[in-house]
Structure 1
């Protein structure tokens, strides 16, 4: 039984990864669109000599946004989608199958988060000079912590009984609000915005990308604890029946 629980999530994660890779639209919105926006903003606003700044000083917000997109529109959105398609009601209705499903889902999008981060790094880093493996590994590590950070509210949002379209709308609004508040906080030091930023995951993700894991160890530990709690809550209260179902 233990071997079954260890092997099945990996197989399921592999299937989920193949499913994700076959969707070019997801690749475009999560990776290509931030890359295009990055180059447009830098082409329009970066003064001469700005490229001497550190790479992460300019790209940290973009990495934060990409990690939030993977958590919201990958990890969480597909949980809602599989529920509304009837997949969960048909195959995920016992404790062991819940563990297998959630583990497979998490493993799949953990892998995809690394892929998306690597793609963004590869498409933007050469603009600042030579790439380095140590820098790349550091960025991937920080990015993954950001992914875990955004997975906390994303998983909890899946517990709300809402359909596929409503989930898409809610996730889009949440993503936009986090990004908008983060951008506003850059150019303002108003006390109210400082308080709002404290509760904005996008702001914390930006700090993680800039400061790093070692210097922000307490934050990383707090993220880890909250993630485990949110994962347990999702396991405990996972909605099986589609919203449209009367049964």
Structure 2
């Protein structure tokens, strides 16, 4: 339990340390707890938004009202620096800490691309849906867009979907017709689709593997190991153990023997001859 709290202590007070090292157990003591809190707060916020919409009201458009957003923003810098120190502890570059963020960005772009592509558009009759005037006045306004989404959800029961979701064959045919018109776009399209749908899971897997690599036991370019996993090092192979001197505290009340007294007198006499009389020891 003490090690668990020590990991969070390091997580908080080393928030801006991007040049140090953090052990594997230090990272895995902190991050699962943060992930669990994020998921719990996100579910709570989604439930709150759903209940607000179900009651016929519009939820707040201020992202700082929601606990999950606040928690993610407050822990953003400490999480990134902790990942960088963990990578540096295993001898890797801290830039690998950007893998999950690039994967998330490309995944969102891929989902947005599918949602707006012609192969996935459903023919819909929006005759009963009225576009708010705020969106017509200022289409780029965030509040106008949120108001439009709210209006859509509020009137979703009155919207008549006259089309149907196309089958996989129809999707392939649509994509084939679009790429067949210009064959030079086939390879770039495949590369872009691969980056959006293949890169994210591979990047996350690589990131998790990097976080599980063992620490380098010796000093590297980022400093000495933290020894968070192993505690004080033993005095093996001639290595200095700073805790060995505390063993003398157990002998403070012991009386020296005659042999020890004679040895001390001899040391004092030899030191006097060398430093004061200038005699060299034979």
TM-score, normalised to structure 2's length? 0.27
Q: Identify, as 1 or 2, the structure richer in helix.
A: 1
Work out which structure has the larger RCO, using CA pairs closer than 8 Å and 6 or more positions apart in sequence: 1
TM-score, normalised to structure 1's length? 0.30
